[in-house]
């Protein structure tokens, strides 16, 4: 799936039919072997359905930067010591990362995620590593 195809998922429309269980609208879209995107209307339970399957959840907000995913540090003796990020730990141990409100991510982060999961050139990915992007198509604050 290309960057544009992912962005096009933001155009999915849902019928507001009170007779239809909103959970039935939850759909999985396979980007590649490591990355799926889950779509559904607001309040349908998509986050709750996948939350227990993850080691770490990132809320995708306008302030989320690529460095937030790949960098972590602590101070030891008043000096910064760099540590493996939770994202990096998932890559190497086979954990699952949830990116909640995926359609709030910037293009550069989404491009980075596509590059590492499609080419396997930037990092060697554990075969069980997964990214689950969760989004509400048409969300008014969407960047796409």
What is the per-residue pLDDT across 25-52, written as a single tens digit (0 to 9) for each? 889 999 999 999 999 888 888 998 888 8
142 assigned to some structural domain: no
Inside any domain, residue 12: no
In this prediction, residue 120 carries a pLDDT of 64
DSSP state of 41: -
Flag whether 44 is in a domain: yes
Q: Which residues, listed in sequence order, are joined to residue 21 by a DSSP beta bridge? A: none
Q: What residue numbers bound the domain in which 93 lies? A: 17-135
Residue 130's CATH number: 3.40.50.300
pLDDT value of residue 94: 94
Can you tell me the distance from the alpha carbon of 70 to that of 68, in angstroms, rounded to the nearest whole number?
Answer: 6
Closest residue by Cα to residue 7 from 33, 34, 29, 32: 29
* 46-92 pLDDT tens trace: 998 888 888 898 888 877 788 888 888 888 888 888 888 898 999 99
Quick: pLDDT tens for 82-98: 888 898 999 999 999 99
- Domain count across the chain: 1
């Amino acid at each position: 799936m290309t960057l544009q195809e992912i962005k096009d998922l933001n155009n999915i429309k849902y019928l507001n039919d009170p007779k239809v269980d909103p959970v039935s609208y939850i759909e999985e879209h396979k980007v590649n072997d490591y990355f799926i995107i889950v779509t559904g209307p607001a309040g349908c339970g998509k986050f709750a359905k996948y939350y227990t399957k993850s080691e770490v959840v990132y809320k995708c907000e306008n302030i989320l930067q690529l460095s937030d995913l790949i960098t972590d540090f602590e101070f030891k003796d008043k000096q910064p010591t760099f540590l493996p990020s939770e994202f990096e730990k998932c890559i190497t141990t086979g954990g699952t990362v949830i990116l909640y409100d995926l359609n709030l991510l910037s293009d550069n982060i989404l491009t980075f995620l596509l590059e590492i999961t499609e080419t396997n050139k930037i990092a060697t990915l554990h075969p069980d590593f997964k990214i689950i992007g969760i989004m509400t198509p048409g969300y008014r604050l969407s960047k796409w």
